[in-house]
């Protein structure tokens, strides 16, 4: 293990457990430990992946870590990430970065005073179908990008209680659209509401990018069947992505083509 990257994971629920699993399987990484307020969960994950379990995340941060992944509930992102950054530990924070713009600004300010790397875990950016589509767009296959539309709907996951649908799911497609278009959001219009959740559980988001392209995101926790799809319209063709299948289909004036996708797990990609 000489020269290996020493990693920790804070929060080992559904997503954090995946981070621990991937780290444990990488030959160049030593998974030092995992932390979770649920001691039984932490012990279970630690036993499975051969590392130490901590109930108090601060005890894990006291270890000699090169990087820590933060997968706690969104309302705790700021507190945990700021402490890790102040301890000069590189950080990967699950999306969204924090619970408010003010907290994000404070994290940026904290990071500017430190010499560490901070990354946001926008996993869909590393979906192999999205990576392939980015290559094709940059190569001019679709021509100028006119619009992007996404449908990210499905049944409610009871573990999401501290944020609404926009922060939990809508952020995926906001990031992917900015990534694919190579542009920044210039203006936003959204309508949202709540049927059963204490935050919004359905939303339509309209984005205008500074390069003239537009995006529309339909997201909710009300649809019985889970859908994760994206359509990109260009001047020369149209692309359709199924996030769940990691598939990509291209349409132009003459052909309908299915892209060949190497279906690697997004968490292992760079």
Environment class of residue 71 by beta-carbon count within 10 Å: exposed (0-12), middle (13-18) or buried (19+)? buried
What Rg do the C-alpha atoms of the chain give, in angstroms? 20
**What's the pLDDT at 3?**
60
What residue ranges define each of the domains in the chain, with the CATH number in brackets? 5-121 (3.40.50.720), 124-268 (3.30.360.10)
pLDDT at 1 > cutoff 60: no
For 5, the token pair is 């990257």
Alpha-carbon distance of 266 to 270, in angstroms, equals 8
Judged against a pLDDT cut of 90, whether residue 268 lies above it is answered with no
Question: What's the whole-number mean pLDDT along residues 148-153?
Answer: 98
The model's pLDDT over 181-192, given as tens digits with 9 standing for 90+, comes to: 999 999 999 999
Per-residue pLDDT tens digits for 82-122 = 999 999 999 999 999 998 999 999 999 999 998 899 999 99
Q: How confident is the model at residue 232 (pLDDT cuts 50, 70, 90)?
A: very high
Give residue 264's pLDDT: 84
pLDDT, tens digit (0-9, with 9 covering 90-100), for 190-230:
999 999 999 999 999 999 999 999 999 999 999 999 999 99
CA-CA distances (angstroms) from residue 49 to 17, 38, 212? 10, 17, 47
For residue 198, CA distances in Å to 71, 109, 162, 222, 246 come to 22, 31, 9, 14, 32
Query: Tokens representing 137?
Result: 């767009």
Nearby residues of 41 by Cβ (< 8 Å), 6 or more positions away: 12, 13
CB atoms within 10 A of CB 176: 26
Q: What is the pLDDT of residue 46?
A: 98
């Amino acid at each position: 293990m000489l020269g290996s990257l020493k990693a920790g994971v804070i929060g080992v629920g559904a997503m954090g457990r995946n981070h621990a699993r991937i780290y444990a399987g990488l030959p160049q990484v030593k998974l030092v430990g995992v932390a979770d307020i649920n001691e039984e969960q932490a012990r279970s994950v630690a036993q499975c992946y051969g590392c130490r379990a901590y109930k108090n995340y601060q005890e894990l941060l006291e270890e000699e870590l090169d990087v820590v992944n933060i997968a706690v509930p969104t309302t705790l992102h700021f507190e945990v990430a700021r402490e890790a950054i102040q301890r000069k530990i590189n950080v990967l924070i699950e999306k969204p970065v924090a619970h408010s713009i003010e907290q994000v600004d404070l994290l940026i300010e904290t990071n500017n005073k430190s010499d560490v790397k901070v990354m946001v875990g926008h996993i869909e950016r590393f979906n192999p179908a999205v990576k392939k589509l980015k290559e094709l767009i940059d190569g001019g296959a679709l021509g100028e990008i006119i619009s992007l539309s996404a449908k990210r709907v499905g049944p409610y996951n009871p573990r999401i209680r501290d944020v609404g649908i926009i922060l939990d799911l809508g952020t995926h497609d906001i990031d992917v659209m900015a990534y694919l278009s190579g542009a920044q959001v210039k203006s936003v219009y959204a309508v949202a509401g709540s049927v059963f959740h204490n935050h919004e559980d359905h939303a339509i988001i309209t984005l205008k990018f500074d390069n003239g392209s537009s995006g529309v995101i339909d997201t909710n926790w009300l649809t019985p069947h889970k859908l994760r799809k994206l359509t990109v319209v260009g001047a020369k063709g149209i692309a359709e992505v199924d996030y769940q299948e990691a598939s990509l289909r291209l349409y132009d004036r003459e052909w309908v083509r299915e892209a060949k996708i190497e279906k690697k797990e997004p968490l292992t990609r760079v």
